[in-house]
Chains A and B, each alone.
Chain A
Amino acid sequence: MKPCSDYQETLLLDVYGELNLVERRVWENHLSTCEHCRKEKEQLLRLLKTIKNALPTPTLSPDKIAEHVRVIQRKLKEEANLPWWRKARFHLPQRLIPALTTACVLLIIISWFGLKEFKKFDMLSTSPQTTSEEQINRDDLEVVKNLEFLKEMEDVEKLVKHLDETDSQSPSTQTENNNNGGSDDA
């Protein structure tokens, strides 16, 4: 058995107590003449009653309510004594807390590795290899700067060598000369 199609919505609104006065008057006029709709209404009301009976809404005793109120008040007092940075978390949307925590952890990890890489780079720039290369470069520069001096030193060395050679040769020549001179004199 189906209700009249024009009144289907009205029927449901009536069952749920949502009709205004004008709608109700029109609907009641229809109900007085339509048996289908009357039966349908009765059936729906029975269904809702069945559901309500099957799932009763619990009622709280005054003692229970007082206990709940006490717990809430105690928690509010405890919160009031918290430092501001701990109170701040209550005003953050709860769903954001895990996301923010994850973001913070990631930031710490990235910063940690970033710092490590930076240190590595820093160490590379001051590593022993680089130092020796730098040392070599510094030595070269020193050589270039004192090239003239070194050349002079080389010349001096050559001169000394030459003099030494000359010195070593001169006593024999002198004795030869002496010998020749003696015979001539004789």
Chain B
Amino acid sequence: MEAETEEKSVSILNDEEMVTRAKADDQKAVTELIHRYQPKAYAIAFHLCSEESDEVRDVTQEAFLKAIRSIKKFRGQASFSTWFYRIVVNTCRDFLRRKRKKERLFSLWPGKPHGNEVSQDNSKEQPDLKGHNDPMAVFTGKQLTREVRNALRALPEKQRVVFQFKVLNEMTIKEIAQVTGSSEGTIKSHLFRATHSLRNVLKDWSES
């Protein structure tokens, strides 16, 4: 009963208090922080570096481990969320770098498929008939997903990252600027350019 009350009291604490407790090796505060930020970290990693659930899980876990290991170095100049999302973004970048290296290495191996081809396209394009009865709708949905994904991939990396943060992760321009370490003006510029490019590429879909 007492433990339950304590858990409840931890969960109503704000980030700042929770971080102070976590710095003092309070395991309940650490657990609560993980619970609180897990969905958002997972979503960022999902859109930023991979759509394979195992890879996303690994990246998210690595980001949490990094954050908890270095939580004593967090001085509170930015909010905890900004600091943590920056760790997630850097972990994603490291992961992508490692993945690209691995793919380059395996591409030298004859007969081995590229990681991207298998993981990102083929598996996602199989029609999922469970939720929809109309095969046409399913087909259209799959085609749309493929086109949107291709359009996003065609964007320069900075524009793509900013757009994903804004639209898919629903972050504010100020947050994105803090997480990426750029000015708000730069973020706006990337976001607007990405919007124009996507609008041109996906004109047929957005006008219908």
Residues of A within 8 A of B (CB): 9, 12-13, 15-16, 18, 43-44, 46-48, 50-55, 57-60, 65, 68-69, 71-73, 75-76, 79, 90-91, 94-95
Q: Would you call B43 and A57 a contact (CB within 8 A)?
A: yes
The CB with the most chain B CB atoms within 10 A, among A52, A72, A73, is that of A72
Known contacts A91-B69, A91-B70, A71 near B206 by CB under 8 Å: no
Known contacts A9-B192, A12-B191, A43-B206, A18 near B172 by CB under 8 Å: yes
Contact of A16 among B27, B60, B70, B173 (CB under 8 A): B173
| B148 in the interface (beta carbon within 8 A) | yes
A13 to B147, CA, bound (A): 25
Contact with A along B51-92 (1 / 0, CB 8 A): 001001100110011101110000000000000000000000
A66 to B42, CA, bound (A): 13
B46 to chain A, nearest CB (A): 6
Q: Would you call B61 and A68 a contact (CB within 8 A)?
A: yes
Q: Chain A residue with minimal CB distance to B151? A: A51
Q: Would you call A16 and B191 a contact (CB within 8 A)?
A: yes
Known contacts A47-B206, A50-B148, A90-B69, A55 near B168 by CB under 8 Å: yes
- Chain A contact surface mostly: helix
Contacts of A58 on B, CB cut-off 8 Å?
42-43, 46, 53, 56
B208 to chain A, nearest CB (A): 9
A165 to B31, CA, bound (A): 120
Can you add 7 more A-B contacts, CB < 8 Å, to A73-B27, A90-B66?
Answer: A9-B192, A54-B145, A57-B169, A68-B38, A69-B34, A69-B38, A91-B69
| B166 in the interface (beta carbon within 8 A) | yes
A147 to B66, CA, bound (A): 85
Contacts of B56 on A, CB cut-off 8 Å?
58
Contacts of B30 on A, CB cut-off 8 Å?
73, 76
Q: Would you call A47 and B199 a contact (CB within 8 A)?
A: yes
A69 to B38, CA, bound (A): 8
Contacts of B27 on A, CB cut-off 8 Å?
73
Contact of B202 among A47, A60, A95 (CB under 8 A): A47
| B198 in the interface (beta carbon within 8 A) | yes
B3 to chain A, nearest CB (A): 16
Known contacts A52-B167, A68-B38, A90-B69, A44 near B205 by CB under 8 Å: no
Q: Would you call A75 and B202 a contact (CB within 8 A)?
A: no
Contacts of B147 on A, CB cut-off 8 Å?
54
